[in-house]
Amino acid sequence: MFVLVVIIVGLVFAMVLVVGMALLADERRMRVMDRVERLHQVPRSPLAEELALPFHERVLKPVLGRFVNAIGAMAPAEALENARHELEKAGNPMGLNAQSFTTMRAFAAVGGIAAAFWLWNNPVMGENMQMPIAGLAAVVGILAPHYILQKSIEGRHNQIRKTLPDIIDLLVVSVEAGAGLDGALQEVVARKEGPLVEEFSRLLGEVRVGKTRKRAWEDMADRTGEDNLNALVASLTQAEQLGVSIAKALRTQSDSLRTRRSLQIKEVAAALPVKMLFPMIFFIFPSLFVILLGPGLMSMTDVLSAMGGGK
C-alpha cells in the first residue's frame, strides 16, 4: 500500500512538472514570435497612425476644439488673461485653456438664464416658489464654473501646503548629501507625486531649455499663487543672492512651515466650539431633552390625570 501511494505521488509530481515545462516553453515561444513580428513590422507613417485613430478623435474632437476656442477668443484680452492665470493656479483641470473655459462660462450663463426664463413662465412648484427657483437657476448658471474653478484652486493649494514640508525635508537631505539644488529637485521628482512635484518637474524643464533659475522659480510661484511656496521661493532667491547655504535656508523654511501649520491647526481647533454651538442647540439638545425629560413628563401626566379622575 505504501509503495502504491509513493508511485501515485511520483506520477502526480511528474505530471505537474511536465505541464509546467510545457507552459514555460509555450510562453518562451510566444515571446520569440512576438519579437520576430515586431522586427518584421514596417513602421507606420504619421499619416497612417492618424488614420488609425477613431473617427471622433480624428475629426470630431479637433473640429469641436477649434469651434470652442474660436468662440472663447472673442472675449476681451484681459478676461482671457485672468482666466489663463486662474487655470494655471488650478493646474489646468481637464486640459482646459483660457478660450475653452471662457466658452464654457458663456454657455453655462446662457443655459442658466434660459432655465430661469423657462421656470418663470412654466412654474413647476407653484407660484410662490417661481421667482426663487428661477433666480437660483440663473445664479447657478452664471457662477457655477467660477465656483468650481475656485474650489479646484483651493484643493490644489491644500495639497501643496500639505506636501511642502516633507518635500523640503527631502531637499535638505539631498543638498546636505552633496547634491546641487537642481539634483535635489530631480530626486524629489523621482520619489514623490502630486501637484507640487509636477511644478518642480516643469521648473526643471524650463531651466534645461535656458531660463534662469531665479526666473523659473518666480514663474512657478506666480503660477501656483500659494503663500507658503511664495515664501520658499523668496527665501531661496535671497539665499542665492547673499551666498547663504541653501540647506540652511531650506531647513529654516521647513521649521517655519511646520510652526505655521501647528498654529493653523490650533486656530481651527479653537473655532470648533463656536461652530458646534448652533448644531447642539437646534439638533442635539432637543433630542436630549426628549430622551431625559420625556418619561418624567409622561409619568407626571399620568399622575395628574389619576388625581383629576379621583376627584
pLDDT over threshold 60, residue 5: no
Average pLDDT over the chain, rounded to an integer: 77
Q: What CA–CA distances, in Å, run from 169 to 160, 216, 263?
A: 14, 21, 20
Lowest mean pLDDT among 22-26, 152-156, 210-214: 22-26
pLDDT over threshold 50, residue 2: no
Q: What pLDDT, in 10s, does the model give residues 222-243?
A: 888 888 888 888 888 887 777 7
The domain locations on the chain are: 157-263
**Orientation angle between helical segments 195-208 and 130-176, nearest 10 degrees:** 60
Q: What pLDDT, in 10s, does the model give residues 99-129?
A: 888 888 888 888 888 888 887 877 666 667 7
HSE value, Cβ hemisphere, 13 Å, CA-based, for 71: 13
Lowest mean pLDDT among 11-25, 125-139, 141-155: 11-25
Q: Please indicate, yes or no, whether the overall pTM of this predicted structure exceeds 0.75.
A: no
Percent of the chain with pLDDT over 70: 78
**Orientation angle between helical segments 227-242 and 246-279, nearest 10 degrees:** 160
Cβ contacts of 125 within 8 Å, gap of 6 or more: 133
Q: What is the CATH number of domain 157-263?
A: 1.20.81.30
- Is residue 146 within 8 Å of residue 105, measured between CB atoms? yes
